[in-house]
Structure 1
Amino acid sequence: MIVTRLKGGLGNQLFQYAFGYTLAKRYGDELKLDIEWFDGEGNVPWLTHRKYELDKFTIPSASIIEHKKLPLKVRFFGHRFVRKPFEYLNVSRFYLGEWAVVGSDSKYDYLNLMQRPNIYLNGYYDNYAAIYLKESIDDLRKEFIPQKISEKTQLLVNEVSSTDSTAIHVRRSDQLHSKGHLADLAYYKKAIEEVSRKKTNTNFYVFSDDIDWCKVQFAGLDRMKFVDNSDKNDAIGDFTSMMHCKNNIIAYSTYSWWAAMLNPNKDKMVISPTFYDSKGFLPDDWIQL
């Protein structure tokens, strides 16, 4: 059995599921999802509150397992306060009898884990995506189809699907702190110029957790439409709309990375800021600025 501990926002959850799916398929094993983080470790004042989002997709390849039903030793070594000191010592894997508890370490060959009957995945795995997604992305495209969207979102999806459209994702809120990775205004303006040069008739649709800021900063630019989503907790609405635009300008964000990756347009143009591990993270045909 392979269990993946889901945590973080929608983009992170998609990466964690994707990696668990890939291993389960490779080993011919069943995949279980541990979602306790959203009411446990993740439900603390200093973190942006996140919720489990994968119930909005068709993911028949996994089912939820109760955290308390996992062995005590797995829960113990998987806990943040226990795991963190070991990470400083570059220890991200624990072999506990029939269980392997595996964290995030980009230097480790995740696809060839020491065999154990059970594996507990407790990491993000996004910086290893280019390798493990090669063998599973076609399957995941069929599973990562949003199911529960509002009527308002459906109308926008219909609009962007029928026109030459480019999604611009601007992430601010939790990226404004000192450890955040904020794509600056210069990046967006350069990206808009690049798309406009090659897609002369495109309309830009701006999605953001700070849409008022975007309206001020992008004021005066041609063909701009600001998506003012009144439901700030509706992560799936903006995500689905960005997926169905013909092109994507993404933020420093796994959320918009996945929207661009799942975009079905074969002729899409995707522009991205340079990520911390871009060589293994961004597809070769994406443009880095």
Structure 2
Amino acid sequence: MGPLGSRLRRWLPVAAQYGAVLGTGTRGDRIRGSTRVLSSRRRLRFSEGGFVGSAQSPTVHLTKSSQARAPLICQRMSGGLGNQLFQASAAMSLSRRLGGQLSFDLTRYERDKKRRFELACFPTGASEWIPNAAARPRPAELLKAIRHRRKLRWGWSGSVYRQPDFGYDPAFETLDGDVYLDGLFQSELYFLREENYVRQVFDLEPFASARVRDLAASWAGQDLASVHIRRGDYAENPKVLAVMGLLDDSYYERSINVLRQISPSLRLKIFSDDRDAAIRTCELHPGAEPVVGDTAIDDMYLMSKCRHHIIANSTFSWWGAWLGLPHGLTIAPRLHFSREKLRSVFIHDHYPKGWLLI
């Protein structure tokens, strides 16, 4: 084996960290990778009318004829349920504007041991985009990508849009043709034009457990506020803590006092990944009670059934509030990130108009 081959062999384990997918095959047998429809079974085929159920052919190979049919919008998915909802909503909005097909790149979840893709149950109409192993790069190209920490997406022949910063980018509205989306898209401005459609697709009730639906029904007519206390990986991981920070008790005290002025009979429902924090909040506010669902969708569904919301610096409770009942007040933290991180990040696009920042 020559020097280049030896170097490549040494770098191969590292390549997986940057999205590299190696395989065999002949170049040209598919032009943009392949897709398979996202569902709990992932067993679908492509017909003239779109993707339909089938017990055969779980993988779809796109050809030049399918490229002419409609542009393909592919979103690189990452993070938990809240992050996924932002990414999928932006991609859905773009796909509908262009009249294109929608697909999700799930390769990050092959390496993420803590997160999983959670949107397969929703009727997004998306397929899974599978990198084209046949279009693997030459060894020298792979080594160059690794040195410069570039992520390679084998077989993608369209454009790649990387969100330039955390805020809303108006250039998103000018995208056209086949587009691979790489970003967080954590602003409703990316999908506001399709707000009603997004709410319809991500209706949580059909996918909540029967126990939780019964619990939500018992809340009907009550003046409730969800309070989300996010700790978990924020507190346990120093790198995450340096970026996100932790909201202190004063944020919650001030927010609850504001809501009490609006509704003296308000009852608090406490959602938290920190049991001790939830218990402490309940002790400070008589009548408050912790709420725990069986799944992330359960928790978000119960949040959405409260009229008012005190959200954390978390995309999870952002969506619990956004998908919630109308005519309530949502209070959000000005310190969405740590003070150090906020010096370089513009966050006001993150919150919808009408939300109160404290």
Q: Which residue is 1:46 aligned to?
A: none
Instruction: State whether structure 2 residue 272 is matched by structure 1 residue 208.
Output: yes
Q: Which of 175-184 and 266-275 deviates more?
A: 175-184
Q: Which of 145-154 and 183-192 deviates more?
A: 145-154
Which of residues 25, 29, 32 is equivalent to 2:100? Answer: 29
CA separation in 1, counterparts of 2:76 and 2:210? 32
- Contact (CA 8 Å) 1:242, 1:260: kept in 2 or not? yes
TM-score (ref. length: structure 1)? 0.81
Instruction: State whether structure 2 residue 136 is matched by structure 1 residue 65.
Output: no
Which AA in structure 2 matches 1:162? Answer: G
Which AA in structure 1 matches 2:212? Answer: T
Deviations 1:65-120 (A, max 9, x none): 334579547xxx9xxx859856xxxxx9x9x984112222137422213x4x4211
CA separation in 1, counterparts of 2:281 and 2:326? 31
- Contact (CA 8 Å) 1:161, 1:246: kept in 2 or not? no
CA separation in 2, counterparts of 1:213 and 1:243? 21
Which of residues 242, 246, 261 is equivalent to 2:303? Answer: 242
SS of structure 2 residue aligned to 1:54: coil
- Contact (CA 8 Å) 1:161, 1:245: kept in 2 or not? no
Which of residues 153, 178, 186 is equivalent to 1:118? Answer: 178
Instruction: State whether structure 2 residue 87 is matched by structure 1 residue 16.
Output: yes
Task: Describe the shift of the 1:70–1:194 C-alpha distance in structure 2 as closer, same or farther (beyond 3 A).
Answer: farther
Q: Which of 96-105 and 10-19 deviates more?
A: 96-105
Q: Which residue is 1:173 aligned to?
A: 232
Deviations 1:224-257 (A, max 9, x none): 011144x5xx211111100111111100001110
Say how many residue pairs are matched: 262
Instruction: State whether structure 2 residue 220 is matched by structure 1 residue 161.
Output: yes
Deviations 1:44-67 (A, max 9, x none): xxxxx11111124332x3222334
CA separation in 1, counterparts of 2:134 and 2:193? 29
CA separation in 2, counterparts of 1:266 and 1:2? 32
- Contact (CA 8 Å) 1:32, 1:64: kept in 2 or not? yes
Q: Which residue is 1:225 aligned to?
A: 289
CA separation in 1, counterparts of 2:108 and 2:323? 26
Task: Describe the shift of the 1:165–1:84 C-alpha distance in structure 2 as closer, same or farther (beyond 3 A).
Answer: farther
SS of structure 2 residue aligned to 1:166: strand
Q: Which residue is 2:119 aligned to?
A: 54
CA separation in 1, counterparts of 2:126 and 2:318? 23
CA separation in 1, counterparts of 2:223 and 2:134? 49
CA separation in 2, counterparts of 1:97 and 1:270? 41
SS of structure 2 residue aligned to 1:55: coil
SS of structure 1 residue aligned to 2:278: helix
Shift of 1:199: 1.5
CA separation in 2, counterparts of 1:253 and 1:143? 21
Which AA in structure 2 matches 1:268? Answer: G
Which AA in structure 2 matches 1:2? Answer: I
Q: Which of 3-12 and 178-187 deviates more?
A: 178-187
Q: Which residue is 2:14 aligned to?
A: none
Alignment identity in percent?
26
Task: Describe the shift of the 1:136–1:163 C-alpha distance in structure 2 as closer, same or farther (beyond 3 A).
Answer: same
RMSD, aligned CA:
2.7
Deviations 1:194-246 (A, max 9, x none): 111102222100011112222124413122011144x5xx2111111001111
SS of structure 2 residue aligned to 1:197: helix
CA separation in 2, counterparts of 1:67 and 1:172? 35
Which AA in structure 1 matches 2:331? Answer: I
Which of residues 310, 313, 319 is equivalent to 1:258? Answer: 319
Shift of 1:158: 1.3
Which structure exhibits the higher relative contact order, with contacts defined as CA atoms closer than 8 Å and separated by 6 or more residues? 1
Structure 1 segments unaligned to the other structure (5+ residues): 44-48, 87-91
Q: Which of 162-171 and 7-16 deviates more?
A: 162-171
Describe how 1:89-100 pairs up with structure 2 within 5 A.
98-100=157-159
CA separation in 2, counterparts of 1:35 and 1:65? 8
Which AA in structure 1 matches 2:189? Answer: I
- Contact (CA 8 Å) 1:35, 1:67: kept in 2 or not? no
CA separation in 1, counterparts of 2:116 and 2:156? 32
Larger Rg over CA atoms: 2
